[in-house]
Structure 1
């Protein structure tokens, strides 16, 4: 409800959707005021501000708003906030889980291949699927596989040179 009150305490104008509000008691407020009042077991927010009316008179522009609906809306918003927070945490967990698998799987594959190479004393290559351009893929294809190939060539060269050497008497 909006009400304009004169300095003499008369209501110059009242605009409301609720007929119960028009019977609210009122007084002229000379300064800016904001408070919460109780009327017929209803909590009402009240704000007043002095204004200059069209005829030059100073009047009090007063606004009344029932708070019960606001409290219900705040409770609903609180529930929505909690639900979206929980949903965000769950989605973050699953996204993190998927991302971790994407990062850890190639590293694990490289580690297992390196261990197998050391254990079997063979030069194994990492089996890579897809044509990814990320750093892990580059490290697996260019770095590890090429390094294994170079080491294998050097090892074969060393062994072939060793076999060609004449026996020492």
Structure 2
């Protein structure tokens, strides 16, 4: 679920969330529970408390990250100048890996990679922008609370081994 929430928070436009998403409320698979006055629509405070230190914390930190980075809230479509695609295997229908960099000269670039394969993918990390270095902010494969570190952890390698069914976010900082 962290992968989907990260994808939602880095997407352009208004994020659409439902009450309970912050703790993983599934509504038992009912995607249209509007007319149900049953427990599937009740806010489950016990589940929120049980997940406060993992999913809820991750959810909250991703929202804060989005608010802090204007590049994630643009009022126009991205152009070639705004995004660089990495390992773009558009013709490979078997590929389940996506990586790109969002460019922001003022606040710093953001590198993202999503791996939907059932095996590790060695992602080539581009050189950071001038006088900046990459810091790992998110790795959804890492256990909470280290899956999201707001200040980031310095990352100096040129390859990131992205775990199966996970995603990463690197931020370029001075």
Which TM bucket (shorter chain)? Answer: under 0.3
Higher relative contact order (CA 8 A, sep 6+): 2
Q: Which entry has the higher C-alpha Rg, 1 or 2?
A: 1
Which structure features the higher share of helix residues? 1
TM-score (normalised: structure 2): 0.19
Which structure features the higher share of strand residues? 2
TM-score (normalised: structure 1): 0.20
